Chains A and B, each alone.
Chain A
């Protein structure tokens, strides 16, 4: 089954404690991206990757890092989480040169106290 898998699905942490949200896709997609979803603001892009070892900032990259060492994986790293990073996070992927349809994961709900 084609899917984007995120872990953890739910996480409560404290300010300053580094955490990583993993994302893996099994569709051999070149492009992967992270979004955050907040009430009243919709989905906003954090970072994206056009292929292995190629990453760049989206609209709201402050406080986040990413890496793309393998085609299937695209982890999101919060080096020193703060309460304003409390949000619902989605990883997504798509095939370049295709229909432009983004495939989304199930989401990771993060609470930073």
Chain B
């Protein structure tokens, strides 16, 4: 059974204080590792897809990395508008395009 565990559950940072979110996963053949952002009362918004160990992707202050067992979302010099819940998910090679999600990290950036 595919599993995704995210840590920490919640993280409070001062504006400009860099940090990383962790996503550990087990999957029967990785099709892709996905990061989403979710704001309160909204649907998840796609950020990145990583396909193989060693791959990295960047978008503004966010950088996602992938190993065979985990992924990190690095946030550099965050701003208050980066406050959201960040969701990690895996898709398996075999199946129906389903994504298995973690429970998310709720990130708060304090001005």
A48-B96 contact given A43-B101, A100-B31, A107-B41, CB 8 Å threshold: yes
Which chain A residues border B45 with CB–CB below 8 Å? 104
How many CB-defined contacts (below 8 Å) exist between A and B?
63
A5 to B29, CA, bound (A): 32
B30 to chain A, nearest CB (A): 11
Q: Are B97 and A101 in contact (CB under 8 A)?
A: no
Give the interface size bracket for A toward B.
20 to 34
Q: Which of A41, A56, A100, A105 is close to B103, meaning CB atoms less than 8 Å apart? A: A41
Q: Of B4, B36, B46, B89, which is in contact with the most chain A CB atoms at under 10 Å from its CB?
A: B46
Whether, in the assembled complex, A90 has its beta carbon less than 8 Å from a beta carbon of chain B, the answer is yes
Q: Which residues of B contact A11 (CB under 8 A)?
A: none
The digit string for B41-52, where 1 denotes a CB below 8 A from any CB of A, is: 111111001000
Please name all residues of chain B whose beta carbon is closer than 8 Å to the beta carbon of A59 when the two chains form the complex. Answer: 98
State A68–B109 Cα separation when bound (angstroms): 42
Closest A residue to B91 by CB, please name it: A100
Residues A101 and B42 in contact in the complex (CB < 8 Å), given A41-B103, A45-B98, A94-B97 = no
Query: 11 additional contacts, CB 8 Å, given A100-B31, A106-B43?
Result: A4-B43, A40-B103, A43-B99, A44-B101, A48-B98, A50-B96, A50-B97, A90-B44, A92-B43, A104-B43, A107-B41
Residues of chain A whose beta carbon lies under 8 Å from any beta carbon of chain B = 4, 31, 33, 40-45, 48, 50, 56, 58-59, 90, 92, 94, 96, 99-107
